Chains A and B, each alone.
Chain A
Amino acid sequence: GAVVSQHPSWVICKSGTSVKIECRSLDFQATTMFWYRQFPKQSLMLMATSNEGSKATYEQGVEKDKFLINHASLTLSTLTVTSAHPEDSSFYICSASTGTVGTQYFGPGTRLLVL
């Protein structure tokens, strides 16, 4: 149980284009989903908290107009990187909460390479 999927797993795009990443909870309903970014050999940095049916809450320093988050249902959240640039190249990981304190279930991540 508690499986989270992400799509796509890999994406390569040209600078200036937008990329959408989907995060789905497959066997549970997640009222809250989280988006992280991880650069090589670094920690996971929380980008935003996404609650179903409401606007996402962004962490300090994360541009909400660049990283658009939509949480349309209890099983789906999307992250759109708008006008991507090479410095946006990173490993983007989502997680979902079942409501159990202390645990989040992570998706397999999406590697974004912007050329």
Chain B
Amino acid sequence: GQSLEQPSEVTAVEGAIVQINCTYQTSGFYGLSWYQQHDGGAPTFLSYNGLDGLEETGRFSSFLSRSDSYGYLLLQELQMKDSASYFCASFNQGGKLIFGQGTELSVKP
């Protein structure tokens, strides 16, 4: 089967750094994507790793290790508005996205 594992919830304070890990087991894997979803909203694309290594986009970075079937999303300089659910998703053959269960991030003052 296809599965992605990520922590269900993470809490951090404003200004801190948080890392959300994701391990995956999927077939036809091309790469790992990350999406942010605020309550009641649609997912917003954050990043995609097609190759091993680190991708940086502003305060957010994402990492992939294909040999370990592992990736993470790193959020720096946390802000209150970063409180949301974060999903890792494997990008598979045919352009399909298979989502993990999501990590609810709570940023406290």
For window 14-69 of B, CB contacts with A under 8 Å fall at 30-31, 33, 35, 41-45, 48-50
Q: Are the CB atoms of A34 and B96 closer together than 8 Å?
A: yes
A9 to nearest B CB, angstroms? Answer: 10
* Interface residues of chain A: helix, strand, loop or mixed (majority): strand
Q: Are the CB atoms of A107 and B42 closer together than 8 Å?
A: yes
Number of residues of chain B lying within 8 A (CB) of chain A:
23
> A49 vs B50: C-alpha distance in the bound complex, in angstroms?
21
B55 to nearest A CB, angstroms? Answer: 10
A97: chain B residues within 8 A (beta carbon): 95
Number of residues of chain A lying within 8 A (CB) of chain B:
21
B34 to nearest A CB, angstroms? Answer: 10
Binds B, one of A12-20, A38-46, A65-73: A38-46
Q: Are the CB atoms of A101 and B96 closer together than 8 Å?
A: no
> A15 vs B45: C-alpha distance in the bound complex, in angstroms?
35
In the A-B complex, the 10 residue pairs with the closest CB atoms? A102-B48, A106-B42, A43-B99, A44-B99, A43-B101, A109-B42, A108-B42, A106-B43, A102-B91, A97-B95
Pull 25 A–B residue pairs with CB atoms less than 8 Å apart, ordered by A: A34-B95, A34-B97, A42-B101, A42-B102, A43-B99, A43-B102, A44-B97, A45-B99, A46-B97, A46-B98, A46-B99, A49-B95, A101-B30, A101-B91, A102-B30, A102-B33, A102-B48, A104-B45, A104-B95, A106-B35, A106-B42, A106-B45, A107-B42, A108-B42, A109-B41
Residues on A close to B: CB < 8 A?
32, 34, 42-46, 49, 57, 93, 95, 97, 101-109
